Structure 1
């Protein structure tokens, strides 16, 4: 028999009809969906540790939010923190795991329904979206659980103390048999960070997202990062990168004082170039941390490196430059003028700059221009891929041998060397790679119809939309071609996705529906979402972003899009009008002007 509970203050109250089959003595409360409910569950002020069991008093809604935060923090104490919320009689139902076995099921809370029972306990039913599994190594892996609802009870802790005091708080009855962590708790009690692995051809560093509990003392941060690197990359990224040599282990813990850090690795091989690359890898994986690093390999010291100097002389994106805005106006590419922003000339000769529908222009090593364009074919409903490369102005253009009924905006896979350009494009639902001669080769993917592709600034990762869902995958240069690793599906709040691009090295800008057309920023593992625009008003059929990075400052408008035939830019949000288009003749009075379309960045 359950012990009685004291009733606390209630939030939103929704009474369900008797037809629901709930006893007349019951009271059902629905904790609403969306941002308002999320904010209501937060306690004021920042902190590295989640709230204790008694922090919510007898407020059911706040207690449940805190219960879904309890597992946050260092993995070794996750079960201890969660069990503090569970009634003593139910604690044995949650079996402890230790160390690397600890895994948190990260969920997005959709709705919580509270039913007051005749014995004064409360039944809670939460509706969730499974986002992923947060492992002890900081990786958010794809979700394993399939449950969309969890049910548990609440009772007052006042009975146990024998004092009728709401400050005694609540207990959880019949808890879920897994550790749950809300996405809001992930945002609040963890720092998302990027560590870096060398690409499979060892030409550039590729970011891999991790989560570090804020409760971890700062002096242990270096040690955590080194352990992550030793453990290797995330599974989905593995096909496009290389980890440390097999058998690499950390000798003791990384230690440091007064800005000087010592890392000692048991690592095979005596390749000095490989050791130098490891130092660069460590420097960037430590973020913006200043100071000096002394790397030891089997107790043999390497020259001490200043971390800031290493990052300066070994940049992540050596070819990154400030972006320039362009768009398509009456079948030709034109610069878009936004005042103080850098605006250059079109790098195409006039004879090549015609019948264009959309385009991607990129700068390769030594300012070589890569141009890929969708152009009209034999009719307005047929399209070809057109490609040209070289120093500007480009006049020689190659066209694909086949026409298609639909082609997405092509994207280049950016390189840091002088290898020939390679890109990706979607045509009639199939992903293709293309070369500088506009030859197109199907890329095998075990996905439904593909509608969009976007490439990260490192050229080693892509985002895809297939069947209205979002995926990421690693790119592996395969001789003269390109292979794509197994795609990982990302769980998002958006449905019916239509467009995607990379907004940062660890964030995607995605268009879809959140009840109405919207644009969100979504982390590369799907866990962190930020609405950018929820009032788009029409389906977004074109989206482009400049992936901000540590080499170049963010432009005033980091993304542009097109919806219902109208182009827009962000920050400040404005419609891209005819007067923003450069290098066009004046329009006679009374003549209707066209709208620019398919905006994009050159960088």
Structure 2
């Protein structure tokens, strides 16, 4: 059915806008424990649309350095000029300027601790030491690439400004343009653009950054350029590119409510232009009105941006998520905050000895993957699919010492349900017959967690306590995990992860000796603490990534063999577990806690 929807669009048929429906959770208020600013959401303009402070804004050495680390933010043509205002006249030979603005790259760093200021010398010179993490390189195309330097601290020497001036000057600038992650958050907007997967059946998100001061006309121009240049290196193996010679002719223009985009594109068939129109509509989802696509000045297609989005939703329609947990080896619905929750879509004969589970909706069916414990304490995966309640199940042939929380890939191909699971510290693909196939990864080590994105074509992994993302190539029954990209984060010893938005992850690990939960962007750039000092290691984590843009995703987690929720952060009590048998409420023995919470959607 979903392939038919896509085919209809590409044939020029307009379908009912109701196909774009998407469930929205009842509770989406932001609750952040730590820094007040939330991580950037897809397509949010999180920048404050002001210029960063100048050289004379502060004479405090620590604040001066913070201001220096934001000076490069903004339009790239003036990046060197803004930075050099902070540099003493005698040191203006650094950093070396690039001749082309397209070559200007910003080295994004995260301050690990507050700057340390040494006592000033007799001539007023100060030394400021800044411990940093190398987050990545912000390129001219708005992507954040992997770090290229390994410096863990920078030592800045400052002197008072010359007579008649105020502020300080930097006398030993590094030969690169530095930008703090806080400046990236403050002076840039995050934008989500989309590329088709390999068979053009689903759009896959990609995150870009653009200075907040850029006006609408420029934003449209930049988005078209980004699509023409193609995906970033890490995502490229899992998506399709536009024809190699595609380029924008002049800038995008607007007359009244119509945008005009003029391209050079070889063999621009109606099919290719239909796909491009869908890409543009979703990559410009904050815009409305018409967009006229021209190929070498010839009008080829005019479409309404909102109508194009309504015609083909990004992903299959999703009902409101329902919460479940494991209680005494049985899956039960849970009710928190007045949310409604349906019955468990499984027969009682199967719903027993369960350790963790993943339930997903696929059209009119339910996909079920259960990790069950055998009498000898070893574990197997039980898989089933069909209308609720699911009655047909298959069990993996092999038993394992431990099996992690499974995840289903939200593929368009309903005939080949596929998921991923960690078993005995290795990643496996499983199918509807519970056939387990080991997947070889580009990074060796012990795999402890895996999570699939809402689009089903990217995954997050925890390997050796570090966080990774990777695109998938899906071809029927075959799933290929392309080369992994490591995300730089404050947390060490990461234990759990899930997707909380199109380009957001929520994950748990060690924060200066204490378990914590953080949120980060898919490139690791914008990181926000959500819950610090949890008190126990987080062993499982589940989020709902299909909520409204700009809202913190509802998520649940397990720690110390108990289940918790966010919004607000609190334990899930036994009284919130539904459909418990009478015997479980009787006295005599300690009642178990709900564990392994997850969402059905």
Q: How many angstroms apart in 2 are the aligned matches of 1:47 and 1:303?
A: 34
Shift of 1:170: 1.1
* Worse-superposed segment, 149-158 or 205-214: 149-158
Partner of 1:369: 366
User: Which sits farther off after the overlay, 519-528 or 312-321?
Assistant: 312-321
| C-alpha contact 2:143 2:208 (8 A) present in aligned 1 | yes
Q: Is the 8 A contact 2:217 2:252 kept in 1?
A: no
The correspondence for 1:529, drawn from 527, 530, 539, is 527
Q: CA deviation at 1:298?
A: 2.8
Instruction: Specify which of 468, 472, 475 is matched with residue 475 of structure 1.
Output: 472
Does 584-593 or 189-198 show the bigger shift?
Answer: 584-593
How far apart, CA to CA, are the structure 1 residues paired with 2:551 and 2:324? 17
Q: Distance in 1 between matches of 2:572 and 2:130?
A: 43
Query: What are the equivalent positions in structure 2 for 1:110-149 lying under 5 Å apart?
Result: 110-111=112-113, 112-115=115-118, 116-149=120-153
Which residue does 2:73 correspond to in 1?
A: 72
Q: Give 1:536 shift.
A: 1.1
**2-structure distance, mates of 1:278, 1:208:** 15
The 1:341/1:302 distance shift into structure 2, 3 A limit, reads farther
Give how far 1:60 is off: 1.4
Deviation at 1:372, TM superposition (A): 0.6
**How many Å separate the matches in 2 of 1:269 and 1:378?**
62
In structure 1, the gaps of 5 or more residues are: 1-33, 37-44, 162-166
Please report how far the alpha carbon of residue 114 of structure 1 lies from its aligned counterpart in structure 2 after TM superposition: 1.9
Partner of 1:538: 536
Q: 1:424-573 alignment to 2 at 5 Å? A: 424-447=420-443, 448-515=445-512, 516-550=514-548, 558-573=554-569
Who is 1:9 aligned against? none
Q: Could you tell me how far 1:61 is from its partner in structure 2? A: 1.7
Distance 2:416 2:35 in 1: 47
Q: Which whole-Å CA distance do the structure 1 matches of 2:244 and 2:375 have between them?
A: 55
Give CA-to-partner distance per residue, 1:99-130, whole Å, 9 cap, x none.
11111100011232222224321122211110
Compared with structure 1, are the counterparts of its residues 273 and 46 closer, same or farther at alpha carbon in structure 2 (3 Å cutoff)? closer
- Alignment match, 2:89: 88
Deviates more, 1:275-284 or 1:474-483: 474-483
Aligned to 1:298: 296
> What is the distance in 2 between the residues matched to 1:415 and 1:259?
36
> Do the aligned residues in 2 keep the contact of 1:151 with 1:176 (CA within 8 Å)?
no
1:255-404 to structure 2, matched below 5 A, reads 255-338=253-336, 340-365=338-363, 367-380=364-377, 382-404=378-400
TM, length-normalised to structure 1: 0.88
**Contact 1:411–1:424 (Cα < 8 Å) also in 2:** yes
Q: What is the number of residues matched between the two proteins?
A: 551
**Structure-1 separation of matches of 2:580 and 2:94:** 72
* CA distance in structure 2 between the partners assigned to 1:443 and 1:169 by the alignment: 57
- In 1, are the aligned partners of 2:62 and 2:128 still within 8 Å (CA)? no
Pairwise mapping of residues 23-62 of structure 1 onto structure 2 (< 5 A)?
Answer: 46-56=48-58, 58-62=59-63
Equivalent in 218, 221, 225 of residue 219 of structure 2: 221
Highest relative contact order (Cα 8 Å, sep 6+), 1 or 2? Answer: 2
Give, in angstroms, the shift of residue 236 of structure 1: 0.8
Contact 2:160 2:169 in 1 (8 A): yes
Deviation at 1:378, TM superposition (A): 4.3
How much does 1:397 deviate?
A: 1.4
What is the aligned partner in structure 2 of residue 408 from structure 1?
A: 404
1:212-232 deviation line (CA, Å, top 9, x unaligned) = 111222321100110111110
Cα separation, 2, equivalents of 1:568 and 1:152: 44
Matched, 1:585 2:572: no
Root-mean-square deviation (Å): 1.8
Structure 1 CA distance for aligned equivalents of residues 130 and 457 of structure 2: 39
CA contact (8 A) 2:71 2:79 kept: yes
Rounded to whole Å, the distance in 1 between the matches of 2:285 and 2:81 is: 31
Structure-2 separation of matches of 1:89 and 1:560: 56
Distance 1:234 1:342 in 2: 41
Distance in 2, Cα, partners of 1:415 & 1:549: 19
Asked if the contact 1:470–1:497 (Cα under 8 Å) also holds between the matched residues in 2, the reply is yes
Runs of 4 or more consecutive aligned structure 1 residues displaced over 6 Å after TM superposition = none
Contact 1:322 1:342 in 2 (8 A): no
Tell me the CA shift for residue 35 of structure 1.
5.9
Query: What is the alpha-carbon distance in structure 1 between the residues aligned to residue 53 and residue 266 of structure 2?
Result: 45
Cα distance between partner residues in 2 of 1:108 and 1:424: 33
Quote how far apart the aligned CAs of 1:562 are.
0.6
User: 1:466-504 CA distances to partner (integer Å, 9 max, x unpaired)?
Assistant: 000000000001442100110000000011100000011
Does the CA contact (< 8 Å) of 1:319 and 1:364 recur in 2?
no
Do structure 1's residue 109 and structure 2's residue 108 form an aligned pair? no
- Native 8 Å contact 2:416 2:476 kept in 1: no
Q: CA deviation at 1:79?
A: 0.8
Mapped contact 2:117–2:128 kept (Cα < 8 A): yes
Q: Provide TM-score, normalisation by structure 2.
A: 0.89
Report deviation, 1:417.
4.0
Give SS of 2:183's match.
helix
Secondary structure of 1:401's aligned partner: coil
The offset of 1:554, in angstroms, is: 6.4
Checking the alignment, whether the CA contact within 8 Å between 1:49 and 1:214 is kept in structure 2 is: no
Deviations 1:428-474 (A, max 9, x none): 11111010000011111132111100000100000000000000000
CA positional deviation for 1:283: 0.7
Deviations along 1:137-175, one digit per CA (max 9) or x if unpaired, are: 10000100101111221111133x3xxxxx611111011
Deviations 1:222-253 (A, max 9, x none): 00110111110011111111011111111111
CA distance in 2, matches of 1:581, 1:82: 57
For 1:550 and 1:510, the matched residues in 2 are separated by 20
- Structure 2 unaligned blocks of 5 or more: 1-33, 37-46
Residues in 2 aligned to 1:339 and 1:124: alpha-carbon distance in whole angstroms: 49
In structure 2, the residue matched to 1:100 is: 102
Shift of 1:517: 0.6
